[in-house]
Amino acid sequence: MGSYGMLARRVVQTETPVMVQIQELIRGSKDVMSLAQGVVHWLPPKPALEKVKEIVWEPSVSRYGADEGLPELREALVKKLREENQLCKSSVMVTAGANQAFVNIVLTLCDAGDSVVMFAPYYFNAYMSFQMTGVTNILVGPGNPETLHPDADWLKRILQETKPTPKLVTVVNPGNPSGTYIPDALLKRLSDICRDAGSWLLVDNTYEYFMFDGRKHSCVEGNHIVNIFSFSKAYGMMGWRVGYIAYPSEVEGFAAQLLKVQDNIPICASIISQRLALFSLEVGPEWVTDQVKELVKNRTIIQEALAPLGEGAVKGGEGAIYLWAKLPEKHTEDFEVVRWLARKHGVVLIPGSACGCPGHVRISFGGLLENDCLLASKRLKKGLEELVTSGMLE
């Protein structure tokens, strides 16, 4: 077309999805290994997949279902939320993944022009969801330089000082891209600050089961809190597209407004995918934690590969599937480093600038089996050693 004149400014001014750029980079490179995309290497539980095979001919699978989700899946999720997450006053809507859940919530709670709060480094898709719905006043708060935890004192001040008060604050726990988890006391403090200011708190719990070294994930609940969850990583169901929203049952009108959004995007999440989600829940969370346990080996392998960056450069990895690393001072052009690592060393990472932090990279350790992870880590280590000693020579 040659001109952006006819396209919506909301979308034109939204960032280009970093994953799309990375996929192009992978397609354009020879023999690259990806430590970029946030994926896991396992498939859904076998018994659950076997059961799905049996139901493809059931007419209900090919019809629309209830907008909110299959009643039996929602019932199972309410039980799961109560027993595992101690969320007892939450209602459930099933969505086509946690990303759609996030967009549903932004459309339900925010008006174009509202201000919202995130913390650096932030999850790129969340940032884009705000941008493309017209919520362009995105205040990005600092993380603690050591722990990367959201800075609660900054939040308290900014919610008091900004007029009108920011509508919504969002955090990911444990974090993408940081791989750090938010300790229970800090999460409660963030919740109290939001409640006192009259802001919503939206917590993305996509990696709730991805906790290492004995740490425990926790949730907060309240009439100002929305939690979102995903089946994608936990049950290896990325392509099946199932997530869900736990929203406060007591807030009048919430369900009715949320339903309008849902009815105009997926109508309902794919029925066969919802059935697989239900069969997977029947297999149980122990199955997930068994898969997650094994990832510690990959984390160690990648930590070792990042050693050339020096002490203090690598953070995260307490939860989720990510490590977060600072590049040497003179390499703030992180996308250049990512392209060079792909071209010269055959390994792909995510540039930190996509998460609001130039000069950093995100490394995912969930997508490769141990042997492939070892191979990718050797390439990464060699590349980083070269970067540190001689820079990007060719």
Ligand X SMILES: Cc1ncc(COP(=O)(O)O)c(C=O)c1O
Footprint on this chain of ligand X (rule: CB under 6 A)? 38, 97-99, 123, 172, 176, 204, 206, 230, 232, 238, 243
Which one, 125 or 191, has the nearer CB to ligand X?
125
Residue number with CB closer to ligand X (91 or 178): 178
Helix (H), strand (E) counts: the chain: 14, 13
Name the 3-class secondary structure at 279: helix
Label residues 196-224 b or e (16+ Cβ within 10 Å = b).
ebebbbbbbbbbbbbbbeeeebbbbbbeb
Residue type at position 161: E
Phi, psi of 229 (to 5 degrees): -140, 165
How far is the CA of 53 from the CAs of 62, 72, 218, 231, in angstroms?
14, 19, 35, 19
Pick the closer one to ligand X by CB: 180 or 230: 230
DSSP assignment, residue 343?
A: I
* Least distance to ligand X, CB of residue 176, Å: 4
Instruction: List the one residue out of 304, 299, 349 whose CA is nearest residue 327.
Output: 349
Select the residue whose beta carbon is closest to ligand X and give its number.
97
CB of 354 to ligand X, least distance (A): 12
User: By the 8 A CB rule, do 267 and 345 touch?
Assistant: no
How many other CB atoms are there within 10 angstroms of residue 143's CB atom?
A: 21
Give 309 or 355: the residue with its C-beta nearer to ligand X. Answer: 355
Whether 56 and 272 have beta carbons less than 8 Å apart is answered as yes
Looking at beta carbons only, is 84 or 196 nearer to ligand X?
84
Q: Classify the C-alpha dihedral 233-237-241-247 as positive or negative.
A: negative
SS3 50: helix
* CB closer to ligand X out of 320 and 387: 320
Q: How far is residue 241 CA from its own chain's centroid?
A: 14
| CB-based contact 193:159 (threshold 8 Å) | yes
- Judged by beta carbon, residue 97 or residue 383, the one nearer ligand X is 97
Contact criterion met (CB below 8 Å) for 139 and 169: no
Choice between 101 and 158, CB closer to ligand X: 101
